[in-house]
Amino acid sequence: MVINIITGRMMKSIKAFKGSKPIYNKNGLLIVRGVCRDKDFENYDSIKQYLESKLKENGFEIIDNDEMVLFMEKIDDKLGEESTIYPDTFGFEILKKSFEDMGCKCDYAVGKKGELMLGISLWYDKVRRAPKFVEVVCC
């Protein structure tokens, strides 16, 4: 239940709650996709800066690469053998590269609050700059 509340707050803070959809919600892992409608996005120099700002605003501390490995292991553990959504320890980097290869601008940030970890990625077409899709992973 706490995961749902925290994820909902994050989606609301990036103005992506309306129309968002959970794509996975089991075993203490919640993955939600939506569209960021936050007008303040344009006030930031980069996607990463924006996402890290939103994580901090929601009480998360930004994690380093060592903790990123723990986050990916935690996701894999929660998924078990059900899926291979994040088959690699650096799944976010692979996701970012695949979007960039398709002509999108993409980045991500991961934070933690106590035992809870939350990763958020945002991507959009480089030319149109919209819509700004987001995916939040919380466990």
Q: Is the pLDDT of residue 52 over 60?
A: yes
Q: Is the pLDDT of residue 96 over 90?
A: no
Higher-pLDDT residue of 28 and 92 is 28
Question: What are the tens digits of pLDDT across the range 99-119?
Answer: 899 999 999 999 999 999 999
Residue 118 CB burial class (10 angstroms; 0-12, 13-18, ≥19): buried
**pLDDT at residue 23 in the model:** 94
Structure tokens at 41: 């996005």
Cα–Cα nearest to 16, from 40, 33, 29: 33
Dihedral in degrees, nearest 10, Cα atoms 124, 127, 130, 132:
20
**pLDDT at residue 95 in the model:** 78
CA atoms of 7 and 11, how far apart (whole Å): 6
Instruction: Give the strand pairing for 132-138 and 61-62.
Output: unpaired
Q: Is the pLDDT of residue 63 over 90?
A: yes
- Give the pTM: 0.87
**pLDDT at residue 129 in the model:** 87
Q: Is the pLDDT of residue 1 over 80?
A: no
Tell the residue number behind the tokens 């203490």, with chain if given: 28
